[in-house]
């Protein structure tokens, strides 16, 4: 690496560290305490040395958004189908007492099915988050590892947000 490349890399690194510190300072104190400044400096160093990581994070974010949208649609479809089932029973039954009893039973079944669907969706999203953390860990980003600790997952979400914001800020910079 020549002197010019070193100067550019150093400018990128300082820029990223300052922005990451700024993002960090806006977090709640509890979350700030869980994300050490050393990790921000390491993150900036990793990102400055391999800007392709921004692309990977962007793709992971797109994939997660698509998965969430798919699960939302799946859940909405389930609710819509359940409502159609209730409406079809209401159209075929004549006795009000029978209608109320049938609707009560159907709503109970539907609530159970929706609860099971929600559980499956949460498990799939949890798996996705773990896969993302593992991928980012392999890339050398600090504080990313598989965990079930909600506070740590929240920290990882903030760090991902930092990277996405930093990527946008980097696009408008000229470091040469």
67-99: pLDDT as tens digits: 999 999 999 999 999 999 998 878 887 778 888
Q: What is the mean pLDDT of the chain?
A: 93
| pLDDT value of position 1 | 62
- Return the minimum-mean-pLDDT range out of 2-6, 21-25, 58-62, 93-97: 93-97
Q: Is the dihedral of CA 149, 151, 152, 153 positive or negative?
A: positive
Taking the C-alpha atoms of residue 77 and residue 75, their distance in angstroms, rounded to an integer, is 5
pLDDT at 120 over 70: yes
pTM: 0.85
Total number of residues shown for the chain: 176
Q: What does the domain layout of the chain look like in residue ranges?
A: 3-73+109-171
- Report the alpha-carbon angle 151-156-161, nearest 5: 125
Is residue 138 predicted with pLDDT exceeding 70? Answer: yes
CA–CA gap between residue 118 and residue 112 (Å, rounded)? 10
């Amino acid at each position: 690496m020549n002197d010019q490349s070193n100067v550019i890399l150093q400018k990128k690194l300082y820029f990223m560290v300052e922005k990451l510190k700024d993002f960090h300072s806006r977090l709640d104190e509890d979350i700030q305490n869980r994300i050490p400044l050393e990790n921000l400096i390491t993150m900036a160093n990793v990102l400055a040395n391999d800007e392709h990581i921004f692309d990977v994070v962007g793709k992971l974010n797109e994939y997660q958004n698509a998965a969430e949208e798919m699960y939302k649609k799946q859940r909405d479809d389930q609710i819509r189908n359940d409502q159609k089932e209730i409406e079809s029973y209401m159209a075929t039954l004549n006795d009000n007492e029978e209608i109320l009893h049938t609707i009560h039973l159907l709503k109970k079944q539907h609530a159970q099915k929706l609860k099971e669907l929600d559980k499956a969706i949460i498990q799939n999203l949890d798996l996705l988050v773990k896969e993302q953390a593992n991928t980012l860990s392999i890339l050398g980003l600090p504080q990313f590892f598989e965990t079930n600790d909600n506070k740590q997952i929240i920290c990882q979400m903030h760090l991902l947000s930092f990277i996405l914001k930093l990527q946008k800020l980097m696009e408008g910079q000229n470091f040469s």
